[in-house]
Structure 1
Amino acid sequence: MSLRTIRVYGFLEDDQGRVLVSAERFRGMPLVKYPGGGVEWGEGLREALAREFQEELQLEISSGDLVFFNEFPVISAFDSQYQVFSFFYRVTALGPLDFATTAEVKVPENDGERPVWVKKSELVKIPFTHKIEQEATRAFLLLGLKV
């Protein structure tokens, strides 16, 4: 059986040139990724991204240009029957960036999320969990996007 899941993530940059990264534990698995998540049935990519930012950060966003999507096959870390397709957009906050963040990229011990601002120049050093995030980071940096 060939099953697919679609994921969508956002590059959010603050006025200091830092990019938001999320250190998470989901179903016991440690993850370092960008804010975002799964596209639900009946949702478009941008709609799902806006919902994910609202759920995770209570932040309204506007999604801009598509930065990256994986053209290579990726098997889900949670269920090997699924192939993952991920889309990464640049996003702009429509409200204040007043959500709580931590000072370092450190995965919580229990299920939960810890957003952290990372200098753009430091993104290549972040231990992203999956190849998709590493490739998306390269694309983001190569394009020199100012979000």
Structure 2
Amino acid sequence: MYPFNVRVYGILINEDGQVLISDEKTERVSFTKFPGGGLEYGEGLIDALKREYLEECDLHVEVIKHIYTTDFWEKSSFNESQIISIYYLVRAISPLNVIIKQQVFDFEDSVIDDQDQKLQSFRLVNVDKLQANELTFKTDQVAWQEFIKQVTV
């Protein structure tokens, strides 16, 4: 049996035209992605995204619109599952209360998730400066390209 791993991510653009990015490190790997994570059994996509933003960023968000859903084969970097990722444009409806870093993978004074042995820090990057190849995973790269197409059309 080959399991599916459904993931949901939010692209948050602030009033200064900056996108929120998450830098993370597990025991084995460091990566840069949009905030979000895995769908839990019995949970809808929107509820999962709101929960993930609250867990990761202590931030309440409103989902504005669908941006992209994975339309190609993607194996998980962490196990044997097939990744299906859904991306939404989100808007903050509460203040962002995380420490914003300037450097990639700056984990000093950062969030530590003891359950997953994960370090996490956040950056705000100008929308016009973020290049798709700065995001680690192909699904994030394609979603960012789709977002840029939709914004500039």
Same fold judged by TM-score > 0.5?
Answer: yes
Partners of 2:106 and 2:147 in 1: CA distance? 23
| Separation of aligned partners in 2, 1:116 and 1:126 | 16
Give the Cα separation in 2 of the matches to 1:46 and 1:143. 21
1:89 alignment counterpart: 88
Give identity over the alignment, percent: 33
- Kept in 1, the 8 Å contact 2:7–2:85? The answer is yes
Q: Give the length in aligned residue pairs.
A: 144
Q: Is residue 2:117 matched to residue 1:118?
A: no
Whether 1:24 and 2:31 are equivalent positions in the alignment is: no
CA contact (8 A) 1:11 1:88 kept: yes
| Aligned partner of residue 51 in structure 2, secondary structure | helix
Q: CA deviation at 1:126?
A: 5.2
Deviation at 1:6, TM superposition (A): 0.3
Aligned-partner Cα distance in 2 for 1:40–1:123 = 30
Instruction: List gaps (5 residues or longer) in structure 2.
Output: 109-116
Matches of residues 5-16 of structure 1 in structure 2 within 5 Å? 5-16=5-16
Residue aligned with 1:50, SS = helix
| Structure 1 gap ranges (5+) | none
Q: Is the 8 A contact 1:24 1:107 kept in 2?
A: no
Provide the aligned C-alpha RMSD in A.
Answer: 1.7
2: CA distance, partners of 1:55 / 1:26: 17
